[in-house]
Amino acid sequence: MTALLKLTGVTAYYGAIQALKGVDLEVNKGEIVTLIGSNGAGKSTLMMTICGNPRARDGHIHYDSQEITRLPTFEIMRRGLAQSPEGRRIFPRMTVHENLLMGAFGRPPHEAVQTMEQVFTLFPRLKERMAQRGGTLSGGEQQMLAIGRALMSRPRLLLLDEPSLGLAPLVVKLIFGAIRELNRTTGLTVLLVEQNAFQALRLAHRGYVLVNGAITMAGPGAELLARPEIRAAYLEGAH
Partner 1 sequence: MSKYPAALGGKSQPPALVRVVRDAGLSAIVAFGLFASMIGLRLFPTGNGMKLHYRWLMLAAVVVAVFAGRVIMLTWRANRPAGTPQPRRIAEAINHAGKYVGAVFLIAAATLPLYGGRYFIDTGILVMTYVMLGWGLTIVVGLAGLLDLGYVAFYAVGAYSYALLSTTYHLGFWTTLPIAGLLAAVWGILLGFPVLRLRGDYLAIVTLAFGEIIRVVLINWTSFTGGPNGITDIPRPTLFGLKFNGSGDPDTFAAFFGIDYSLTQRVVFLYYVIFGLALLTNWVSLRLRRLPLGRAWEALREDEIACRALGINVTVTKLTAFAIGAMFGGFAGAFFATRQAFVSPESFNFGESALVLAIVVLGGLGSQLGVALAAVVMIGGSELFRDFAEYRMLVFGVGLVVMMVLRPRGLVSGRTPSIALGARKEIAAELVAQGRG
Binding site for partner 1 (CB under 8 A): 51, 53, 72-74, 76-78, 82-85, 87-95, 97-98, 101-103, 105-106, 130-136, 142, 149-150, 153
CB of 31 to partner 1, least distance (A): 22
CB of 13 to partner 1, least distance (A): 18
Q: Toward partner 1, which CB reaches closer, 83 or 196?
A: 83
DSSP 8-state code for residue 86? T
Integer angstrom CA distances of residue 150 from 12, 73, 209? 24, 15, 25
Phi, psi torsion values for 110, nearest 5 degrees:
-65, -30
CB of 195 to partner 1, least distance (A): 19
Greatest extent of the chain over all pairs of C-alpha atoms, in Å: 51
Instruction: Name the amino acid, one letter, at 151.
Output: L
Q: Toward partner 1, which CB reaches closer, 107 or 202?
A: 107
**What whole-number distance in Å separates Cα of residue 145 and Cα of residue 85?**
11
Q: Toward partner 1, which CB reaches closer, 96 or 201?
A: 96
Q: Quick one: 144 exposed, middle or buried, by C-beta within 10 A (0-12, 13-18, 19+)?
A: buried
Q: Toward partner 1, which CB reaches closer, 125 or 227?
A: 125
CB of 135 to partner 1, least distance (A): 4
